[in-house]
Amino acid sequence: MTDHATQRHLYVYYQVAESDLAASVAAVRAMQATLVAAHPGLQADLLRRPELNEGRVTLMETYAGGVTLALQAALDLAASRLPLSLPRHNEVFEPLA
């Protein structure tokens, strides 16, 4: 039997002002490092859309390997403490059988 929690992928996307990009990236990477350390097997990445949208950059956080509801709650709590633009959009996907 497959453990779907270990197979799930979480994608979180939002926009930040281009002028806030460096600070936002540093804050998110620090948060991700803390989450990865606290959740063995978790993999995290941070991506950006290459084009700007009215001076804003779209960022995408990705998480795989042990994405549970508890992890999502921990991520939401950690992200609420960061100076990030809202709203953050969460999308969860599972592999096809």
* Overall average pLDDT of the 37-54 stretch: 93
pLDDT tens profile 59-96: 999 999 988 888 899 999 999 998 876 789 999 998 88
- Give the confidence band of 25 by pLDDT, cuts at 50, 70, 90: very high
Which residue ranges form the domains of the chain, and what is each CATH number? 4-91 (3.30.70.100)
- C-alpha dist (Å) from residue 2 to 17, 30, 72, 94: 41, 31, 20, 11
Tokens for 22, please give them: 């460096």
What is the number of alpha carbons within 13 Å of residue 38 lying toward its C-beta? 13
Question: For the whole model, what pTM was predicted?
Answer: 0.88
Structure tokens at 40: 């063995």
